[in-house]
């Protein structure tokens, strides 16, 4: 029960103090107070500029609150950059470096003062920051990732004084100001016409129709990506812009493309309206725009028209095989009910949790029941079984066999579809049939040359097949097609670096992967192996402990049975590294 005159609120909190303050005071008290006063005034000015308020500043500490975590982090970065310039003018022993911590927390407000666990946690996070650095909580990271052009390093879970639950902490890496990975910066526009399809806006009265507009977007991306004369950005990257107001010029620079396709979808009863416009991101000029009002049963022909218009405007020349495939109408299904269930299944599948996977399977099953010849739905049904098995949600060998059967069935329905070959290739990998796996992925990529996920997957298979250097180059190519890529790209790249014995690169890659997905235990496993191989045993043991925290049932023997290494000597070296780190 909050007393009268008190109220609660949620706010972004910034806490700062001076590293080595006691030493500075002991050496020259007067000079330290003068510097501190000057720096505090500067910090207060920057805080006000970022719409914050200084709450308290006892001793060498400072506490401020903000209505926005984006403002708080932006403010902290500007403070540290300005103080770095000021400190450069001082002798080394007189430099005053602040540590800054930021948290999003619930506080109790009394007049101008604030109290509570939110404040206490912020102070503890500040204590985990380096001198001149910034640490943030997981709640802050979740809000700012993708909104500010900074990189972040996951520092793990920390038990902090007087707080029951561990706190997940990230370091703001101020020197890396881009959401595009370092490996890709400075890339020129591709020689081919390059395009990104932004998520089409759902203009239906029902917000639950979001799956339908997302599905239309994904289908158009898929259709375009199968044209070899185009360079098409993958779904993962473009969907990071979903729901955001964007400038096409900025998106073009961030994704490294010249053309942007925008649009909207309105579905009502048995009618659908799609608007689309193609923009040159280098000039902002509109190249083509159209609005389509059709019956829902015409949705497949409508999508084909949009794709054909883009091909015409960009003067793209199709190969004979591409012309043949595009001439085949209703290539996937002509049944709108089956298509609707398929799109619902995709929405669940992209949620990538065990529960979502079960729901996706039910949707794909219904699509196949309605249209037994729907090869793409059959393929995605197979993927739900493969995901179950690879992530350990279902250890029954029947899961991977069911995926194998569904891949073969899909290919029997339509061998010209890329998707079943990709599924079959991944099943072959886990059956440890490497050459068949590589052949199927290469077949899929020949049919869909812009699919970054499949390039990254091929790179992953090549790494397991003892072709690490080839794998590295292919995965980097995948990253260029999907610049804002998911963590599994980094896992595949890091794995290839380990196998190539490029351990420093492997370590930095896995640390980036863990920043994006802290609970993906396979990243911690390979970071453990990388540290062990590099002779950094204290860090290796810490990562081994983190693996067991996330996956208490982990054992080397169970993982050994699953790992699809082609070279048994590499398998033994890998497990020797892990045993040295204390895993059993």
pLDDT of residue 180: 39
Fold assignment, 7-173: Alpha-Beta Plaits (3.30.70)
For the chain, helix (H) and strand (E) counts, in that order, are: 24, 14
The pLDDT assigned to 182 comes to 37
User: What is the reported pTM?
Assistant: 0.67
CB distance 411 to 421 below 8 Å: yes
- What gap in Å lies between CA 543 and CA 580, rounded to an integer? 12
- So what's the architecture of 184-327 in CATH? 3-Layer(aba) Sandwich (3.40)
- Pure H helices in 106-247: 117-127, 138-144, 210-225, 235-238
Name residues of the chain where pLDDT drops below 50.
1-2, 176-187, 329-330
- Say which CATH superfamily domain 336-580 falls into: Tetratricopeptide repeat domain (1.25.40.10)
Provide the pLDDT for residue 286. 86
Q: According to the model, what pLDDT value does residue 541 have?
A: 92
For 198-218, give one letter per residue: b (16+ CB within 10 A) or e: bbbbbbbeeeebbbbbbbbbb
Q: What is the pLDDT of residue 498?
A: 93
Nearest-CA neighbor of 35 among 25, 45, 46, 47? 25
Sorted by where each begins, the domain ranges of the chain are: 7-173, 184-327, 336-580
The confidence score (pLDDT) of residue 2 equals 46
Q: Give the model's pLDDT for residue 42.
A: 93
Q: Tell me, what's the pLDDT at 149?
A: 72
Predicted pLDDT at 420: 95
Closest among 442, 217, 246, 215 to 346, alpha carbons compared: 215
Identify the pLDDT of residue 325: 65
| pLDDT score of 7 | 83
Residue 246 phi, psi dihedral angles, 5° rounding: -130, 160
Predicted confidence at residue 177, as pLDDT, reads 42
């Amino acid at each position: 029960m909050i007393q009268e005159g008190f109220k609660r609120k949620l706010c972004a909190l910034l806490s700062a103090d001076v590293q080595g303050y006691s030493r500075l005071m002991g050496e020259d008290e007067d000079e330290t107070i003068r510097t501190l006063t000057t720096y505090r005034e500067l910090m207060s000015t920057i805080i006000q500029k970022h719409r914050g308020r200084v709450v308290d500043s006892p001793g060498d500490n400072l506490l401020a609150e903000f209505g926005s975590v984006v403002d708080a982090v932006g403010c902290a970065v500007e403070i540290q950059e300005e103080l770095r310039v000021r400190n450069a003018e001082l002798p080394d022993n007189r430099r005053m470096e602040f540590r800054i911590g930021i948290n999003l927390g619930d506080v109790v407000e009394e007049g101008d003062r604030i109290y509570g666990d939110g404040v206490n946690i912020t102070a503890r996070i500040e204590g985990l920051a380096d001198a001149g650095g910034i640490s943030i909580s997981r709640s802050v990271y979740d809000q700012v990732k993708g909104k500010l052009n900074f990189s972040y390093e996951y520092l793990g879970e920390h038990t902090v004084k007087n707080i029951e639950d561990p706190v997940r902490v990230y370091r703001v890496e101020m020197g890396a100001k881009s959401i595009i990975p370092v490996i890709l910066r400075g890339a020129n526009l591709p020689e081919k016409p390059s395009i990104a399809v932004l998520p089409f806006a759902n203009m239906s009265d029902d917000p639950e129709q979001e799956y339908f507009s997302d599905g239309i977007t994904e289908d158009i991306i898929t259709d375009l990506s199968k044209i070899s004369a185009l360079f098409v950005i993958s779904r993962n990257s473009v969907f990071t812009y979903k729901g955001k107001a964007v400038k096409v010029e900025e998106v073009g620079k961030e994704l490294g493309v010249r053309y942007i396709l925008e649009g909207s979808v309105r579905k009502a009863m048995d009618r659908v309206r799609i608007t689309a416009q193609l923009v040159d991101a280098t000039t902002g000029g509109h190249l083509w725009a159209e609005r389509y009002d059709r019956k829902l049963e015409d949705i497949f022909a409508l999508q084909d028209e949009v794709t054909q218009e883009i091909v015409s405007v960009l003067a793209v020349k199709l190969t004979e095989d591409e012309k043949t495939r595009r001439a085949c109408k209703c290539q996937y299904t002509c049944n709108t009910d089956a298509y609707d269930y398929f799109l619902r299944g995709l929405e669940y599948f992209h949620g990538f949790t065990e529960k979502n996977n079960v729901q996706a399977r039910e949707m794909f099953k219904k699509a196949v029941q309605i249209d037994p010849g729907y090869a793409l739905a059959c393929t995605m049904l197979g993927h739900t079984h493969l995901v179950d098995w690879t992530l350990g949600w279902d250890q029954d060998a029947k899961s991977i066999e069911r995926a194998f059967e569904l891949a073969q069935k899909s290919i029997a329905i339509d061998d010209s579809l890329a998707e079943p070959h990709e599924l079959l290739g991944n099943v072959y990998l886990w059956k440890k049939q490497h050459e068949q796996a590589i052949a199927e992925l290469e077949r899929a990529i020949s049919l869909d040359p812009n699919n970054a996920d499949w390039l990254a997957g091929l790179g992953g298979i090549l790494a397991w097949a003892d072709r690490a250097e080839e794998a590295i180059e292919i995965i980097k190519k995948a990253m260029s097609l999907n610049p804002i890529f998911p963590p599994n790209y980094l896992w595949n790249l890091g794995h290839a670096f380990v196998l190539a014995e490029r351990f420093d690169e492997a370590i930095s890659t896995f640390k980036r992967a863990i920043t994006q997905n802290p609970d993906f235990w396979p990243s911690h496993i390979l970071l453990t192996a990388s540290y062990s191989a590099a002779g950094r045993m204290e860090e290796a043991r810490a990562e081994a402990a983190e693996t067991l925290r996330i996956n208490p049932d982990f054992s080397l023997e169970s993982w050994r049975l699953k790992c699809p290494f082609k070279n048994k000597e590499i398998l033994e070296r890998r497990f020797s590294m892990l045993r040295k780190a204390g895993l059993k």
